[in-house]
Amino acid sequence: MELFSRTAYCEKCAKEKLPDNGTLFAVIQGTGKQVVVLKVESIRRRRTPVGFTPHFVSLLKVKNGEAIVAMQCGVIGCGSVIETEYDQLGNPTYDVGTIEARRAIMTIEDWNSLVLNFRDTGYEI
Ligand SMILES: [Zn+2]
């Protein structure tokens, strides 16, 4: 199951007025599909409204012309299933689970635009 990162609405983060400056979030970056944890440094509200956060997204299946998608908020501490471990040098590393992912159903056209409509230049919030 291929995971990638896209911005989506998270109700829990919206209630917490996140993302905000200092918010830690995990995204999948680059061709190696590495999970990296980044921090919001200077938020621009007009571009990033409250509640819109990076999500891990994966396609579960296609059925009757609809895409069934698993989505999981990437904000650290938002009930996501990101576990912290430490590497040999003592630096934290992060892993992604999918246990608590919520499901969304969208049209194939919406799914395709979600996959294609992305500038892979790292990640901006
Ligand atoms: Zn969230």
Residue 72 CA to ligand 1 center (angstroms) comes to 8
Six-digit token pair at 25? 């979030």
Indicate the pTM of the whole model: 0.74
Span 65-75, pLDDT tens digits: 899 998 889 88
- Local confidence band at 1 (pLDDT 50, 70, 90 cut-offs): low
Instruction: Calculate how far, in angstroms, residue 37's C-alpha sits from the geometric centre of ligand 1.
Output: 14
Q: 76 CA to middle of ligand 1, Å?
A: 8
Dihedral (CA of 43, 40, 10, 63) sign: positive
Helix/strand/coil (H, E, C) string of the chain?
Answer: CCCEEEEEECHHHHHCCCCCCCCEEEEEECCCCEEEEEECCCCCCCCCCCCEEEEEEEEEEEECCEEEEEEEECECCCCCCEEEEECCCCCEEEEECCCCCEEEEEEHHHHHHHHHCCCCCCCCC
- Condensed to tens digits (0 to 9), the pLDDT of residues 34-61 reads 778 888 988 777 777 899 998 888 888 9
Which tens digits make up the pLDDT trace of 82-99? 556 677 877 766 666 555
Q: Is the pLDDT of residue 108 over 60?
A: yes
